């Protein structure tokens, strides 16, 4: 005699892998240096992230494009600072250079056309590993680094390094309304060399037991209890 539907459902539920263990395994597979994240950076339980935020943090594609598709609204990249200087020693190993290697440090704010902040990004670019004229293209590219790489047709790929809860960068300015941020670090590799190291801090909020990208939750009209306001 075949099992009753109720019993069969119980068996299927019992055979499902634990979500927390699966989430930790996925992070370990896709973020190459997760165990090397700074001590202040807290662990993220990826099973507590909503599907869009989870996909955004794990994507190795253009973030601005993913945001515009999800939000159905323009996303603006606002340059805040660009200067030459040495790469911090804590980051230089990810670019496989000495700590005193000169690079271009670029800081931007990415938000909606209504001014809602989505994330802040800090990049270190090694010009001697990038095509000539790349910075000129970057200065004129409204979608930032991803669009510039496409315009120069540079063969490259992204390597995710680590992610976790962290404080908002001190250089981000007045962002008192930000509830929490999840930061991820990744590098862009071309010709078997790391060329750009990018740190992104996403503004997130908690609704019940789930974290959401703050701008998406705000656009959906989510209240503090997860319900739409009257």
What is the C-alpha separation between 43 and 37, in angstroms, rounded? 9
Has residue 71 been placed in a domain?
yes
Reading the block at residue 180, the tokens are 């929490």
Q: Could you list the pLDDT tens digit for every one of the 230 residues in the chain?
A: 445 555 554 554 444 568 888 888 899 999 999 999 999 999 999 999 999 999 999 988 778 888 888 888 888 888 899 899 888 888 899 999 876 778 999 999 998 877 788 999 999 999 888 878 777 777 766 666 766 666 666 677 899 999 999 999 999 876 667 889 999 999 999 888 999 999 999 999 999 999 999 988 876 764 444 443 33
CATH number of the domain bearing residue 212: 3.40.1410.10
Which domain does 135 fall in, by range?
A: 7-219
Q: What is the pTM of this model?
A: 0.82
* CB-based burial label for 188 (10 Å; 0-12, 13-18, 19+): buried
Q: Are strands 193-207 and 210-213 parallel, antiparallel or unpaired?
A: antiparallel
Examine residue 120 and state whether it is found in any structural domain, yes or no. Answer: yes
At residue 184, φ and ψ (nearest 5 deg) are -130, 150
User: 147 in a domain, yes or no?
Assistant: yes
Instruction: Flag whether 96 is in a domain.
Output: yes
In a domain, 156, yes or no: yes
DSSP label at residue 169? P
Count: domains in the chain: 1
Residue 189 has what pLDDT? 92
- Would residue 94 count as lying in a domain? yes
Q: What is the pLDDT of residue 211?
A: 96
- Is there a contact between 102 and 83 (Cβ–Cβ < 8 Å)? no
Indicate the SS3 state at residue 140: helix
211 found inside a domain: yes
In a domain, 225, yes or no: no
Closest CA to 200 of 134, 93, 94, 107: 107
């Amino acid at each position: 005699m075949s099992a009753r539907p109720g019993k069969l459902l119980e068996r299927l539920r019992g055979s499902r892998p634990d979500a927390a263990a699966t989430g930790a395994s996925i992070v370990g597979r896709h973020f190459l240096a997760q165990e090397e994240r700074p001590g202040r950076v807290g662990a993220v339980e990826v099973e507590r992230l909503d599907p869009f935020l989870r996909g955004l943090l794990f994507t190795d594609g253009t973030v601005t494009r993913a945001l515009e598709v999800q939000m159905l609204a323009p996303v603006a990249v606002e340059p805040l600072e660009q200067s030459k200087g040495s790469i911090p020693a804590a980051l230089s190993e990810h670019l496989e250079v000495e700590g005193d290697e000169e690079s271009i440090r670029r800081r931007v704010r990415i938000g909606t056309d209504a001014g809602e902040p989505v994330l802040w990004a800090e990049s270190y670019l090694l010009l001697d590993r990038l095509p000539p004229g790349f910075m000129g293209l970057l200065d004129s590219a409204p979608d930032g680094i991803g669009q510039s790489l496409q315009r120069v047709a540079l063969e490259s790929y992204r390597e995710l390094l680590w992610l976790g809860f962290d404080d908002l960068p001190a250089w981000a300015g007045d962002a008192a309304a930000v509830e929490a941020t999840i930061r991820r670090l990744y590098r862009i590799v071309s010709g078997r060399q790391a060329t750009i190291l990018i740190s992104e801090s996403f503004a997130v909020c908690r609704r019940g037991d789930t974290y959401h990208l703050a701008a998406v939750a705000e656009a959906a009209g989510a209240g503090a209890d997860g319900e739409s306001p009257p």
